[in-house]
Structure 1
Amino acid sequence: MPDLTGLLSAAEAAAEVAARHAATADTDRRLSDEVVETLITAGFARRFVPEHLGGAPVGFTELMESVATVAEGCASAGWVASLMAQGARISGYLPAEGQAEVWAKGPDTLVVVGFVSQGSVRAVDGGWVLSGDWPYVSGIEFSEWALLLADDGDGARFFAVPRPDYGITESWFTLGMRATGSHSLTLDEVFVPAHRSFPRDEMFLGRPAVSREPFHTAPLFAVNGLTFGSPVLGAARGALKLAARTLPARDAARTGFARAAGEIEAATLLLTRVAENADLGLYDDDRVRRASLDSALAVDLLAGAVERVFAEAGTRGQRETQPLNRVWRDVRVAAGHGALRFEPAAMRFTEPLLSA
């Protein structure tokens, strides 16, 4: 097992701050500046920045546990922490000149990602011109750069755009995960030079044109479930701790609690296997399909566990002012993310069986 002491210590400090602000963040639909600064100080933004640009690379197992630790205190903060690391990892697929530009001010630069292919792209001399709206860009309020997916006619590409070039439209009004700030990004005729773009398939396949960092050779589906599943893991652990404080004495409640505890532990083992295989660079097709399936199954287990303890909490635990209510809402919303849906993962997993 890797030594997680230093990393988890930073994550625990961030979790304490996030937990203090969790209720207000939910009400305000925004993480406080203090929480964001604490996440940066903990090093989430620099986790997957190349070392020669000042990064502090760590393994996927370490990142999974540190994100989950923060999410125990506040699911939205854990989500943003995880997306900070993801933004850095995906930025590493840019050409060398683009990487240098994104991290010109240092490795703690916050990069957000618009994964929904949107907008219009027009090829011009030296690059492209982009316009349009990109929804669900988590952490956009604090971002300094954005990576946006769009199709230029020859295939899907990511385009890196600095903060002065894009606007924000408030569009994130949800049951839970309210403080992730997953609003829409808007562009109006913005020029993106060629060195600030790369083909989407490089990221999907884990075949960067420039970077040779181990974490850039991970195909998307080998690790994407960890990005979005780790915050759900932390939130579920937090829900179990909250439920334990007021566990009813009746047998049904105790049985439900024990089952939820087992489901959370089973989900932890599934996600840990995904992370450890990624750390070992085991990216054969079978393991990549299994990683996607394991991540989706783990989140199904976590969502079921939280649903179970919330139902057993009764009226007192379900009051709007109770932390368990907030965690339940957060997990319901997070578990519905497209990257965590079980059916697409199951289709990828079973495809070889149909073609055999």
Structure 2
Amino acid sequence: MTSASVRPVMDSESGADASSTFLRQIDEIVPILKANAAETEKLRRLPDASIQALTDAGVFRAGMPKRWGGTEIDPVTWYEAVVRIGTACPSSAWIAGVVGGHSWHAAMFPDEAQHDLWAKGEDVRIATSFAPTGKVERVKGGFQLSGRWKFLSGVDHSEWIIVGGIVPDDGNGPEYRSFMLPASGFAIDQDSWQVEGLQGTGSKEVDIDCFVPEYRTQTIEEVYNGTEPGKVLNTGPIFQLPWLSRFSYAVAMPAVGALQGAIDAFIEDNRSRVSALTHKAAAENTTLHVRLAEASIIARDTRARIVTTWSDMYETVKAGGQISAEARVRCRFEGAYAVAQCLDAAMKIFQISGGGVMDKSKPFQRYLRDIMGMRNHPFNVYETWAPLHSSALLGSPPAPPLMRHSMGCLL
């Protein structure tokens, strides 16, 4: 099957029909992504065919506003799609979750910025780097950016990027902002992504020397107060969901898919494997039975959290409610904790897979290395979020004060 056979989601479809159509399209491209997984790793980015398959399946329109031709797919469906992609190719799932999710973030920017992105009616991909490693200077009409930013997943296939930077003190203290700029404003360092896990994400570094107009920026204060200008324009319920809660699951659910992919690869190998030491079938090993059973339950339970967490959040915003601080920190913790659980489960079955599992031709070792890479993302260090979650459980709801210079105040 080729990606050209995938039918785009139609705006006229109901929410339920659009969701089922979207997942059907994802299922149709899973074989393509799986077949390209080894090449993805070799290239250190997604092959063009994989990007085209994701595009044809509607991945990069799922978070776009309908007024620009997007589909505004509900979060339960969205994260389930990321998991399904991860069973085939974890790097592809990372790009789907992260780059695919950035269209939602861009919808929070002013209308003029959105017009720059989507007025031509095209699928637009956006890479990001929120660590403020470059220099920002306030100039007439906007800001001048210069320097280097790191870890822009999918940047080779992105027409735009959003980067974080700190505006120098103008009397009210330094201010953190997000800045949106086109491909003409940056150069990719093609040798900057030399890693052993998530190789195919192409999370490379860029050098920037670019003017960014004021309207293509977003302040921390807007996000903290929920007053992003895009919310006035894009009124669908998905745009009322918390930004960093969405992002936390975008970098967590690829691990859930990768664990299932690793389990599937493990089962395929061990159905016929015979121990060179005991000459017995590996499938008769009782230790293998225990490890496989444990890993399978972890894969199932972490996946089930999507429905539990995001159905509640989605119903809350559909009813006009606000997501509580307690729910946000729980979401942040459970997403990160799921990644740790997936890595532990994958390691347990790796330890009884035999020496042959380390052969580069075996897909299991790729799944394992990719989950290792995911575990090291700052949002996936669950130990960071445990104190916030535990404090809420103990009766001290988190209420961080506004810090204009840092993302650290955002829940």
Q: 2:303 aligns with which of 252, 268, 279?
A: 268
Among 173, 176, 194, the residue aligned to 2:194 = 173
Judge conservation of contact 1:49–1:55 (CA < 8 Å) in 2: yes
Does the Cα contact within 8 Å between 1:55 and 1:107 map onto a contact in 2?
Answer: no
* Deviation, structure 1 residue 107: 4.8
The amino acid that maps onto 1:184 is: E
**Structure 1: which 5+ residue stretches go unaligned?**
none
Partner of 1:128: 143
CA distance in 2 between counterparts of 1:131 and 1:268 reads 41
- 1:119 maps to which residue? 134
Instruction: Say if 2:98 and 2:247, in contact at 8 Å, map to a contact too.
Output: no
The aligned counterpart of 2:217 is: 197
Matched, 1:306 2:346: yes
Check if 1:30 corresponds to 2:45: yes
1:18 and 2:53 aligned: no
1:222 and 1:278 in contact (8 A); partners too: no
Distance, in Å, in 1 between the alignment partners of 2:386 and 2:108 is: 28
CA drift at 1:278: 2.9
% identical equivalent positions: 24
CA distance in 2, matches of 1:131, 1:209: 26
Alignment correspondent of 2:265 = 242
The aligned amino acid for 2:112 is E
* Alignment-derived partner of residue 76 in structure 2: 61
- Aligned residue runs from structure 1 range 95-174, under 5 A: 95-153=110-168, 154-170=174-190, 171-174=192-195
Instruction: Say which SS state the counterpart of residue 230 (structure 2) adopts.
Output: coil
Q: Which residue of 2 aligns with 1:50?
A: 65
Separation in structure 1 between the aligned mates of residue 185 and residue 383 of structure 2, nearest angstrom: 37
Partner of 2:367: 327
TM-score (norm 2): 0.82
The equivalent of 2:402 in structure 1 is none
Structure 2 residue 104 is the aligned partner of structure 1 residue 89: yes
Aligned-partner SS, 1:246: helix
CA deviations 1:180-232 (Å, max 9, x no partner) are 000012112x1111111111343456442232332222223322221011111
Cα deviation, residue 355, structure 1:
4.8
- Are the counterparts in 2 of residues 205 and 220 from structure 1 also a CA contact under 8 Å? no
Given that 1:223 and 1:278 are in contact with CA atoms closer than 8 Å, whether structure 2 keeps it comes out as no
Question: 1:148 is matched by which residue type in structure 2?
Answer: V
Provide the C-alpha distance between the structure 2 equivalents of 1:338 and 1:205, rounded to a whole number of angstroms: 24
User: Paired residues, what number?
Assistant: 355
Aligned partner letter, 1:303: L
Matching residue of 1:216: 239
Give, in whole Å, the separation in 2 of the partners of 1:150 and 1:108.
26
Rg bigger for which structure?
A: 2
Deviations 1:309-350 (A, max 9, x none): 222211122222211011111111112111111111112213
Q: 2:179 aligns to what SS in structure 1?
A: strand
8 Å contact from structure 1 (residues 229, 295) kept in 2: yes
After TM superposition, the score normalised by the length of structure 1 is: 0.95
1:163 Cα deviation after fit = 0.6
The 3-state SS of whatever aligns with 1:158 is strand
Pairs within 5 Å for 1:243-258: 243-247=266-270, 248=282, 249-258=284-293
SS, match of residue 108 in structure 1 = coil
Sort the Cα spacing of 1:168 and 1:336 in 2 relative to 1 into closer, same or farther, 3 A: same
The reply on whether 1:7 has 2:22 as its aligned counterpart is yes
1:222-266 deviation digits (Å, cap 9, x = unpaired): 222210111111111111111111332210011100011111112
Measured in 1, the distance between the counterparts of 2:123 and 2:355 equals 43
> In 2, Cα distance between the equivalents of 1:292 and 1:316?
37
1:273 is displaced (CA, Å) by 2.2
Contact 1:133 1:185 in 2 (8 A): yes
The CA distance in 1 between the partners of 2:160 and 2:26, in whole Å, is 24
